[in-house]
Amino acid sequence: MRIGVDVGGTNTDAVLMDGRKILASEKQPTTENVSDGIVAAIKALFTTSGVAPTLIKNVMIGTTHFTNAFVERKGLLEVGVIRIALPATKGVAPMIDWPEDIAQSIGHHCYMIEGGYQCDGSLNAPLDEKALLQAVKEIGKKGLKTVAVTGLFSSVNASMEERAKDIILNELPDISVTLSSTIGRIGLLERENASIMNASLAHMSARVVKSFSDALKRLNITAPFYISQNDGTLMSAEYVEKYPVLTFASGPTNSMRGAAYLSGLKDAIVADIGGTTTDIGMLSNGFPRESTVPVDIGGVRTNFRMPDILAIGLGGGSIIKTGDALTIGPKSVGYKLLQDSLVFGGQTLTTSDIAVAAGYADFGDKSLVKHLPAKTIADAVAEIHALITEGVDRMKLSAEPVPLVLVGGGSILVNQKIPGTSNVITPEHASVANAVGASIAQIGGEIDQVYSYDEVGRETALKTAKDLAVQAAISAGAVPDSIIVTDMEEVPLAYVPGGAVRVRVKVAGDLAMEDNS
């Protein structure tokens, strides 16, 4: 048996799973110190199901904690930024494009050093170890606790970054080191940004992971726990401590994977309807489709593996304005839904009121929306469905109609057919889809390299890339037989003869379940 937990901004959800069965699910308010909310939610699971903590083999947790900390500039460390790329890249300094307030909290401790590779992994410049050592000594003098190291084309060849890490730890054994090759793809600036973000979260990640493990201890759960990352795969607790940045955007991923699981569909559109927004994404082969454009987090450009999510301003708390033409959102009453909306005795007309008035749902006091004109209700219902239809259409992978799966607390807003979809499904346990998604996450592996098709041929290149990705997944703890390719992308490099193609392969496999009884 295993437990899936989702620590959201408002609620902490937990589900108890036995193989493919959901035995129980619970919702509790998220607490300031995180662990209290987790303890409350899991305790409630044990109470309803009567299952003993010792029977739990794995715990999977999804959290938006780190994303929020970065966006809100809370509890971040100052970072020593080391770039190993000279003579290349000198024209763009680290953090050049960051908003000033966040650059301030990170500090401007940047060191640019000779070294790095070419796009085929061959040497571009040897590592200047003397200059590196000097930078490390300065970082030590400044008393910095964390460094981010970014090497030229390190996503193709990481050896130099690893050598740099040895030099750093030899001088400053207690410092936390983030290597960009472990985080990002080709595109130095974005990869460097992500590494700096990651380094700035080093202490918080240790704190949060400790808070999770304390919660499990208090519950007498001895099983290992994992944290889900933004591509729907799992990381060990130890790994999250090192790479908190990889949890960014795991929220939408978990809800989509959960939707896939609960509905039994591998290819579908998912709409996660919350209080303020609806996240619409596309499942292909059971995984969320990824975004191809760089993603901004808190104003900083990154190239994370992120699901391609379209957020629209429609949720259960969206405010409806009636007038010449009826409009919905993007303003929402948010968490004040239980005070401000009409059915709860408030003064604001919301989408939830429409759902009650139209007979889609029954909560609050129905009599408080009796006065609404039939035309208002009909117009609002039409507008809600039009917004969802538009969003769905924008996210579709092909012209073929696909099923639409609704999850999240706001899924009651939709009750009619959506054009362009084959059917609309609201599965059981839809409101805890996030926690379910966390509980079924897998172990992944990824490779991103440039090959010359003229030299090695396309088939050999793809096979080499696939094997490398599979190896990566196995060393991360996946069961070899279960590994499948989830995504493959070839990007020809324009303007260059020689058939250079950038190949990205992603694989995922089931977690090797450890027996801890």
Partner 1 sequence: MKFDKKSLEDFARGAAFLGTGGGGDPYIGRLLAQQAIAEYGAPEIIDADSLDDDALILPIAMLGAPTVLAEKAACGDDIDLALKRLSEELGRKPDALIPIEIGGINSTLPIMAAARAGLPLVNADGMGRAFPEIQMVSFNVYGCSATPLAVVDEHMNSVIVRASSAQKAESLVRAIAVSMGMSVMISCYPLSGKQVKAYAVKNTLSLATGIGQAIADGRKTGSPIEALLGFLKTTEYYRHCKVLFDGKITDLRRETTRGFSIGHCIMTELNGSGREMSVEFQNENLVARIDGTVCAIVPDLICIVDRETAEPLPTEALKYGQRVKVIGASVPPIMRTPEALNVFGPQAFGINEPFTPIEEFK
Binding residues among 185-244 for partner 1 as defined by CB under 8 A: 186-189
Measured from the CB atom, the residue of 152 and 204 that comes closer to partner 1 is 152
Measured from the CB atom, the residue of 398 and 517 that comes closer to partner 1 is 398
Closest contact distance (angstroms) between CB of 430 and partner 1 is: 25
Tokens at 444, concatenated: 């992944």
Measured from the CB atom, the residue of 367 and 398 that comes closer to partner 1 is 398
Interface with partner 1, residue 53, by CB under 8 A: no
- Which residues on neighbouring strands pair with residue 177, listed in sequence order? 147
Interface with partner 1, residue 494, by CB under 8 A: yes
User: How big is the site for partner 1, counted in residues (CB under 8 A)?
Assistant: 44
Which residue in 52, 378, 386, 496 binds partner 1 (CB under 8 A)? 496
Closest contact distance (angstroms) between CB of 419 and partner 1 is: 11
CA atoms of 191 and 457, how far apart (whole Å): 29
Measured from the Cβ of residue 51, the count of other Cβ atoms closer than 10 Å reads: 17
Binding residues among 452-471 for partner 1 as defined by CB under 8 A: 453
Q: At what angle do helices 159-171 and 129-142 cross, to 10 degrees?
A: 50
Closest contact distance (angstroms) between CB of 290 and partner 1 is: 10
Interface with partner 1, residue 71, by CB under 8 A: no
DSSP for 377-422, written as a single string: HHHHHHHHHHHHHHHHHHH-SSSS-EEEEEESGGGGG--S--TTEE
CA atoms of 392 and 402, how far apart (whole Å): 10
Measured from the CB atom, the residue of 152 and 216 that comes closer to partner 1 is 152
CA atoms of 428 and 438, how far apart (whole Å): 17
Measured from the CB atom, the residue of 19 and 497 that comes closer to partner 1 is 497
Residue 117 near residue 151 (C-beta atoms within 8 A): yes
What secondary structure letter does DSSP report for 187? -
Which residue in 22, 34, 39, 85 binds partner 1 (CB under 8 A)? 85
Order of all β-strands in the sheet with 2-7: 21-29, 11-18, 2-7, 58-63, 225-228, 234-236
Measured from the CB atom, the residue of 181 and 350 that comes closer to partner 1 is 181
Closest contact distance (angstroms) between CB of 85 and partner 1 is: 8
Q: At what angle do helices 202-218 and 188-200 cross, to 10 degrees?
A: 50
DSSP for 142-171, written as a single string: HT--EEEEEETTTTT--HHHHHHHHHHHHH
What secondary structure letter does DSSP report for 366? G
Closest contact distance (angstroms) between CB of 330 and partner 1 is: 14
Closest contact distance (angstroms) between CB of 277 and partner 1 is: 17
Residue 237 near residue 212 (C-beta atoms within 8 A): yes
Interface with partner 1, residue 280, by CB under 8 A: no
3-class DSSP state for residue 283?
A: strand
Stretch in the footprint of partner 1 (CB under 8 A) among 119-127, 173-181, 232-240, 380-388: 119-127
Interface with partner 1, residue 153, by CB under 8 A: yes
Binding residues among 282-321 for partner 1 as defined by CB under 8 A: 292-293
Residue 227 near residue 60 (C-beta atoms within 8 A): yes
For residue 508, what is the enclosing H or E element? strand 500-509
Closest contact distance (angstroms) between CB of 109 and partner 1 is: 18
Tell me the C-alpha to C-alpha distance, in Å, between residue 469 and each of 118, 126, 332, 464.
21, 28, 43, 9
Closest contact distance (angstroms) between CB of 205 and partner 1 is: 27
Which residue in 60, 110, 500, 508 binds partner 1 (CB under 8 A)? 500
Stretch in the footprint of partner 1 (CB under 8 A) among 258-266, 437-445, 470-478, 486-494: 486-494
- Which residues on neighbouring strands pair with residue 147, listed in sequence order? 80, 177
DSSP for 259-281, written as a single string: HHHHHT-SSEEEEEE-SS-EEEE
Closest contact distance (angstroms) between CB of 63 and partner 1 is: 29
Binding residues among 396-435 for partner 1 as defined by CB under 8 A: 396-399
- Which residues on neighbouring strands pair with residue 320, listed in sequence order? 328
Which residue in 31, 68, 105, 118 binds partner 1 (CB under 8 A)? 118
Which residue in 23, 88, 133, 326 binds partner 1 (CB under 8 A)? 88
Place of tokens 């098709």: 453
Which residue in 87, 99, 264, 359 binds partner 1 (CB under 8 A)? 87
Which residue in 71, 468, 479, 493 binds partner 1 (CB under 8 A)? 493
Nearest CA to 503 out of 471, 460, 441, 442 is that of 460
Measured from the CB atom, the residue of 8 and 116 that comes closer to partner 1 is 116
Stretch in the footprint of partner 1 (CB under 8 A) among 37-45, 90-98, 139-147, 424-432: 90-98
Q: What is the contact surface with partner 1 in residues (CB under 8 A)?
A: 85-93, 96-97, 118-119, 124-125, 152-153, 186-189, 292-293, 393-399, 450, 453, 491-502
